[in-house]
């Protein structure tokens, strides 16, 4: 997984097309949202790496009050327009101004946060028994699509910091991120972290996948010509569409009494 230091430019590149990001990125399982809400001491949430507000709106629909923190001003503007109060900052440098929250949540964004500094900051702003929950969508593309994408991406962007190994499971790759997140929580005074997993699947038509793919981190900083070449190289492997299995996984813990 990318580190916050070396991939900060990528972390702040998703606002190149916030409407496309919001339209194509999938929401999170309702059971996960409900479990986080039920396991928090109250409904006041801080959403780290709020993006366009996808998960924030889900928590709002579940009865929560949500404040977003987002480093990309373009994404924050979109989130505000969608009804999510959002402040522009990296989480590590964000000024809480004495505010406290019942839960800190982060959807597919905590890998851009320093796991130790981020957990310590979360511990500072959480109410007693408050919960941190960082969660990700993890998926393995069907092998023909994964191989086609890896080949064309390596050819088009040979100097990219991203490497794609179609032979390695993404859940194995993400496990390193889950471990770093849990270690940061332990250091910051949280109770023993838990890992929750929700398996589901979605069918994507060829056109739906070609709209979703440019919203991923390896694509957002490409030139239009590079992006078009990568997409064209993937098309033959997509057929009319495919079913993608997701494993939405959370690392979560409550802050211990101080």
Strands of the 65-70 sheet, one edge to the other: 85-88, 65-70, 44-48, 101-107, 126-139, 241-254, 194-205
Alpha-helical (H) ranges within the chain are 8-11, 18-24, 30-38, 54-61, 73-81, 115-125, 143-156, 170-187, 206-212, 224-238
The CA distance from 230 to 207, in Å, is: 14
Sequence-ordered list of residues with C-beta below 8 angstroms from that of 250, at least 6 positions apart, any chain:
32, 36, 133, 134, 135, 136, 195, 196, 197
Q: Mapping DSSP to helix (H, G, I), strand (E, B) and coil, where does residue 146 land?
A: helix
CATH of domain 8-141+166-203+245-254: 3.40.50.150
pLDDT of residue 1: 47
Predicted confidence (pLDDT) per residue in 173-210, tens digit = 899 999 999 999 999 999 999 999 999 999 999 999 99
The CA distance from 140 to 145, in Å, is: 10
Write b or e for each residue in 81-119: b if 16 or more Cβ atoms lie within 10 A of its Cβ, otherwise e.
Answer: ebebebbeebbeebeeeeeebbbbbbbbbbbbbbbebbb
Hey, what are 174's tokens? 């993400």
The CA distance from 147 to 237, in Å, is: 9
Distance of CA 187 to the CA centre of its chain: 22
**Weakly modelled stretches of the chain, pLDDT under 50:** 1-6
Q: What is the pTM of this model?
A: 0.92
Relative orientation angle of helices 224-238 and 143-156, to the nearest 10 degrees: 160
pLDDT of residue 214: 93
The CA distance from 103 to 39, in Å, is: 9
Question: Which residue in 107, 95, 66 sits closest to 83, CA to CA?
Answer: 66
pLDDT of residue 167: 75
Predicted confidence (pLDDT) per residue in 207-231, tens digit = 999 999 999 888 888 899 999 999 9
Cβ–Cβ < 8 Å for 154, 233: no
Q: Where are the domains of the chain?
A: 8-141+166-203+245-254
Cβ–Cβ < 8 Å for 133, 250: yes
């Amino acid at each position: 997984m990318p580190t916050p230091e070396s991939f900060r430019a990528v972390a702040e590149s998703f606002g190149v097309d916030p409407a496309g990001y919001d339209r194509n990125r999938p929401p999170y399982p309702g059971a996960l949202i409900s479990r986080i809400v039920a396991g928090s001491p109250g409904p006041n949430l801080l959403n780290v790496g709020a993006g366009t507000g996808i998960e924030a709106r889900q928590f709002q629909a579940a009865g929560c009050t949500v404040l977003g923190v987002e480093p990309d001003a373009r994404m924050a503007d979109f989130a505000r327009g969608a009804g999510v109060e959002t402040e522009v900052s990296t989480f590590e440098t964000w000024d809480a101004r004495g505010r406290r929250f019942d839960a800190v949540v982060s959807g597919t964004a905590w890998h851009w946060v320093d796991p130790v500094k981020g957990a310590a900051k979360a511990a500072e702003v959480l109410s007693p028994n408050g919960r941190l929950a960082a969660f990700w969508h993890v998926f393995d593309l069907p092998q023909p699509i994964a191989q086609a994408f890896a080949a064309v991406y390596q050819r088009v962007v040979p100097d990219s910091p991203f490497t794609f190994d179609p032979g390695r499971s993404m859940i194995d790759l993400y496990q390193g991120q889950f471990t770093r997140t849990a270690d940061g929580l332990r250091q910051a005074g949280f109770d023993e972290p838990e890992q929750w997993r929700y398996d589901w699947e979605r069918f994507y038509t060829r056109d739906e996948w070609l709209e979703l793919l440019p919203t991923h981190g390896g694509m957002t900083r490409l030139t239009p010509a590079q992006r078009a070449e990568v997409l064209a190289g993937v098309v033959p492997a997509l057929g009319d569409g495919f079913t993608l299995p997701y494993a939405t996984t959370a690392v979560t813990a409550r802050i211990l009494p101080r």
